[in-house]
Amino acid sequence: MINRRHAMGLLAGAGAASLTFGHAAFADNHEADAGEWREMMVGSPDASVEIIEYASLTCPHCANFRTNTYPLLRERYVDNGQVRMILREFPLDPLAMAGFMLARCDEEQYFPIVNMLFETQRQWAFGDRPLDELAGMMRQVGFSQEKFESCLRDQATYDGIMAVTEEGREQGVNSTPTFIVDGEIHRGALSIDQFEEILAPKLDG
């Protein structure tokens, strides 16, 4: 079994993806690959308001938003075509990077995987054997151990997520969750009442 200390060391230094953090980790060609990167969006592309969510899979406040506020926000504003939501990866540690890499490895299941990982965050992210727990979670959505390991070694996915993170920093994102609502930055796990206050003038106007 891999304990938490070993897992963090493995994720921080091993494999082709070399899951390290900092500007030096970016691939030289990440800008050339940007056109192939898929924005993960829910809602109508023609919605009048855009909410960009920067999140980390190991962030408890992000998990709180995703499990408690997001369903209400989607029901009231996204599903009726008023708002489109984009989730952008902003991993705060190697485990969060690993989770996002696994979700990106099967983009047709991206949101189910992300939601599952947020809902079970305490089980896999803060236990003694996080990689074992994460592998077990991914088996529930059809990942073999071979696919699990292969996804964590995908350099292109790693580079893409790091590029998204850097873009967020350039826009002023320095914590998670951070929401950019039509260009305006709002930090923290906003409640549904706070979102309604932000959205009301934009939708009424």
Question: Per residue in 100-119, pLDDT tens?
Answer: 999 999 999 999 999 999 99
Q: Assess whether pLDDT exceeds 80 at residue 56.
A: yes
pLDDT at position 205? 59
Read off the tokens for 88.
Answer: 């952008």
Q: Assess whether pLDDT exceeds 60 at residue 53.
A: yes
77 CB-contact burial (10 Å; exposed 0-12 / middle 13-18 / buried 19+): buried
Tell me how far apart the alpha carbons of residues 190 and 64 are, in angstroms, rounded to a whole number: 10
- 3-state DSSP call for residue 183? coil
pLDDT at position 1? 36
Q: Assess whether pLDDT exceeds 50 at residue 132.
A: yes
The residue-averaged pLDDT of 4-13 equals 48
Do 127 and 133 touch, CB atoms closer than 8 A? yes
The percentage of the chain sitting over the pLDDT mark of 70, rounded to a whole number, equals 82
pLDDT at position 128? 87
> Between vectors from CA 93 to CA 90 and to CA 94, what angle results, nearest 5°?
110
pLDDT at position 9? 53
With cut-offs at 50, 70 and 90, classify the pLDDT of residue 11: low
With cut-offs at 50, 70 and 90, classify the pLDDT of residue 67: very high
> Between vectors from CA 94 to CA 93 and to CA 100, what angle results, nearest 5°?
95
How confident is the model over 143-198, as pLDDT tens digits?
A: 999 999 999 999 999 999 999 999 999 999 999 999 999 999 999 999 999 999 99
CB within 8 A of 113, min separation 6: which ones? 102, 103, 106, 138, 141
With cut-offs at 50, 70 and 90, classify the pLDDT of residue 98: very high
